Amino acid sequence: MRIRTAGVVAVFALALAASGCGGDSDEPATKESAKAAGGKLVIWADDKRTAALKPFAEKFGQENGVTVEVQAVSKDLQTNFVTASQQGSGPDVVVGAHDWIGNMVQNGAIDPVQLTADQKGAFNETAVKAVTFNGQLYGVPYAMENLALIRNTALAPEAPKTIEDLVATGKKLKAEKKASEILCLQSGQNGDAYHIYPLYTSAGGYLFGTAANGDYDPTDLGVGKPESIEAFKKIGALGEKGEGALKRSITPENSIATFTGKKCAFLVSGPWAVADVKKANIAYDITPVPGFAGGKEAQPFVGVQAFYVASKGKNKALAQEFVANYVTRPDLAVALYQAEPRPPALTAALDQVKGSDPDLAKFTEAGENGQVLPAIPAMAAIWDPFGKAEAAVIGGADPAKTITAAGKTIAGQIK
């Protein structure tokens, strides 16, 4: 998956166990007001995480005289949340990726979150930037994620400095029958804009320009511009009719498995892949995704998972208190990390856990030059046309015609 919400529920649970419950007033909730008023807090989270939440939620309810209702949303959490919000039947708090923010704000589904300067300063600066939209903070980040190159060190002892170096090593391993694929970078028949983005940027491509304040500018669309054409020419040269490093047969479903099956020495993936790699007992290292020789640095998207306060929630006071004052605690951030290891957004939590997990520092380093995944509503128009153009070019389609057509489609959807 591109961005996951693993571990969310456990932290929600722990936070709730420490938090209080208030009424509908805009004043911060306290434990005392919770006990006096009673009430119910409704949480929406991934269906796989509710089991981790329930015991903590029950403890919170017992200690504070409130009910905590955990509702599992099996799929399309963002869409279901926005729809429910409009109907007045949504939760008080929801958790999800930061690139949901533009759509949720546009639909009036979430409220800004008030953090002090000290609270903001305790988080990774990029994480705070990711959850800031139109100058306002709309979520509290708890974890960060970005792509890196995961390498089987038994097959490839040295980290490649460029994508050309990687391809040369991969082709040599194939010739020696030590691997069957040069590179595991998922595409599939519909492409994958998220995973190809580091190579796209290294070749000079961009999605959106930026305004004077640093925000993404939807009126400056890079897809279809000369820079994107040149980038797709380079991507095409790595494709099925070129070097054979990028293939549509490498899909979201099989890319990690192909690597853990030792059929491929190089995997472009995120922290979510590490558990499978360790389970396969593969000796591995994590380094930044290499760019093209003579090109720009490869810049992966940096994604953030965050907690949001529902604007139509029935217990907004508790939701604000919880999100602002408990998600910001290092012990809760560490608990989230323990539920699923990925770099915590809270600096103190990252410092606390990285000593026992060197992978965290390596993923963080690989994302240092990354670009915040755009949260503007226009980004929704990018994924499908861009991905399909990528897959077509990997398959041998003309890069200039393909990406120019995709740019026109995207521009039409943005308007």
Q: Which amino acid makes up residue 281?
A: N
Task: Report pLDDT for 64.
Answer: 63
How confident is the model over 253-276, as a mean pLDDT?
A: 96
Task: Report pLDDT for 228.
Answer: 98
Task: Report pLDDT for 61.
Answer: 61
Task: Report pLDDT for 322.
Answer: 76
Task: Report pLDDT for 2.
Answer: 45
Task: Report pLDDT for 337.
Answer: 81
DSSP state of 28: P
Residues with Cβ within 8 Å of 117's Cβ and at least 6 positions away in sequence, in order, are: none
Judged against a pLDDT cut of 70, whether residue 5 lies above it is answered with no
Judged against a pLDDT cut of 80, whether residue 400 lies above it is answered with yes
Range ranked top by mean pLDDT from 48-62, 325-339, 360-374: 360-374
How confident is the model over 148-172, as a mean pLDDT?
A: 98
DSSP-derived secondary structure for 103-166: HHHHTT-EE-----HHHHHTB-HHHHHHTEETTEE--EEEEEEE-EEEEETTT--SPPSSHHHH
Task: Report pLDDT for 34.
Answer: 44
DSSP state of 184: B
Judged against a pLDDT cut of 60, whether residue 236 lies above it is answered with yes
Decide the pairing of beta strands 110-111 and 148-152.
unpaired
Task: Report pLDDT for 53.
Answer: 56
CA distances from 405 to 223, 276, 374, 412 (A): 9, 38, 22, 11
Judged against a pLDDT cut of 90, whether residue 285 lies above it is answered with yes
Task: Report pLDDT for 22.
Answer: 34
Task: Report pLDDT for 325.
Answer: 79
How confident is the model over 65-78, as a mean pLDDT?
A: 81
Distance of CA 170 to the CA centre of its chain: 28
Given this structure, which CATH class describes domain 148-299+382-414? alpha beta
Task: Report pLDDT for 35.
Answer: 45
Q: Do domains 8-145+302-366 and 148-299+382-414 have the same CATH topology?
A: yes
Lowest mean pLDDT among 5-19, 114-128, 136-150, 160-174: 5-19
Please give the share of the chain, as a percent, with pLDDT higher than 70: 86
| Mean pLDDT of the chain, nearest integer | 87
> Which residue ranges make up each domain of the chain?
8-145+302-366, 148-299+382-414
CATH T-level topology, domain 8-145+302-366 = D-Maltodextrin-Binding Protein; domain 2 (3.40.190)
Residue 47 CB neighbours (<10 A):
13
Residue 98: name the closest of 54, 66, 146 by CA.
Answer: 146
Task: Report pLDDT for 47.
Answer: 65
Lowest mean pLDDT among 41-50, 252-261, 382-391: 41-50
pLDDT, greater one: 60 or 354: 354
DSSP state of 398: -
Task: Report pLDDT for 129.
Answer: 93
Q: Which amino acid makes up residue 309?
A: V
Judged against a pLDDT cut of 90, whether residue 156 lies above it is answered with yes
Spatial separation of the C-alpha atoms in residues 11 and 135, rounded to whole Å: 27
Lowest mean pLDDT among 57-61, 156-160, 234-238: 57-61
Contact 307, 325 (CB under 8 A): no
- 292 falls in which pLDDT band (50, 70, 90)? very high
- 42 falls in which pLDDT band (50, 70, 90)? confident
Tell me: the pLDDT tens digits for 333-345? Answer: 887 787 777 899 9
Task: Report pLDDT for 109.
Answer: 97
